[in-house]
Structure 1
Amino acid sequence: MMDFNLKEIFTAFMVLFAVIDIIGNIPIVIDLRKKVGHIQSEKASIIAGCIMVIFLFLGQSLLSLIGIDVNSFAVAGSFILFFIALEMILGITLYKDDGDAGTITATIFPLAFPLIAGPGSLTTLLSLRAEFAIQNIIVAVFFNVIVIYIVLKTSSKIERLIGPSGIQIIRKVFGVILLAIAVKLFAQNIKALFI
Structure 2
Amino acid sequence: MENLVKDFMMLWSTIDPVGTLALFTGLTARLSAQQRRKTAIKATLYASMVLIAALILGQLILTAMDIKLISLQLAGGVILFLFGLQMIFSTHIQESGETEPGHDLAVFPLAVPSIASPGAIMAVITLTDNHVKTLYEQTATAAVLMLVLLVTCGLMLMADRIFKVIGHNGSAIIVRIMGMILAALSVELIMTAIGVAPWMTT
- C-alpha contact (below 8 Å) 1:36/1:97 kept by paired residues: no
Deviations 1:128-153 (A, max 9, x none): 22476212211110101111111222
- CA distance in 2: counterparts of 1:14 and 1:191, whole angstroms: 24
Distance in structure 2 (CA, Å) of the matches to 1:146 and 1:22: 9
Q: In the aligned structure 2, how far is the partner of 1:182 from the partner of 1:53?
A: 23
Tell me if the contact between 1:87 and 1:93 (Cα under 8 Å) persists in the aligned partners: no
Deviation at 1:55, TM superposition (A): 0.8
| Residue-by-residue CA offset, 1:170-189 (whole Å, 9 max, x unaligned) | 33333222212111111111
SS of aligned partner of 1:98: coil
- 2:187 corresponding residue in structure 1: 183
Distance 2:194 2:163 in 1: 37
The equivalent position to 1:97 in structure 2, one of 96, 99, 119, is: 99
- Contact 2:23-2:174 within 8 A present in 1 as well: no
Q: 2:57 corresponds to which residue?
A: 58
Who is 1:16 aligned against? Answer: 11
What's the CA shift string for 1:82-140, capped at 9, x where partnerless? 1222233334559x9331x33xx321222111111121101112222247621221111
Structure 1 SS opposite 2:128: helix
Summarize the alignment of residues 116-195 of structure 1 with structure 2, pairs less than 5 Å apart.
116-130=115-129, 133-191=137-195
Name which of structure 1's ranges 20-29 and 111-120 shifts more when overlaid on structure 2.
20-29
Return the letter of the residue paired with 1:155. Answer: A
Q: Structure 1 unaligned segments of length 5 or more: list them.
A: 1-5
1:86 corresponds to 2:88? no
Q: Which runs of 5+ in 2 are unaligned?
A: 197-202
Tell me if 1:33 matches 2:28: yes
Aligned residues of 2:29 and 2:163 also touching (Cα < 8 A): no
Kindly indicate whether the alpha-carbon contact (under 8 Å) linking 1:75 and 1:186 is maintained by their aligned counterparts in 2: yes
| TM-score, length of structure 2 as denominator length | 0.76
Percent same amino acid among aligned pairs? 27
Aligned-pair Cα RMSD in Å: 2.7
For residue 108 of structure 2, what is the aligned residue in structure 1? 109
Deviation (angstroms), 1:155: 2.1
SS at match of 1:24: helix
1:35-80 Cα offsets, whole Å, 9 max, x none, are: 7773522221122122212211211211233443322222222122
Structure 1 residues 92 and 167, CA gap change in structure 2 (3 angstroms):
closer
TM-score where L is the length of structure 1:
0.79
1:84 & 1:159 partners in 2: Cα distance?
Answer: 23
- Contact 1:56/1:129 (<8 A) preserved: yes
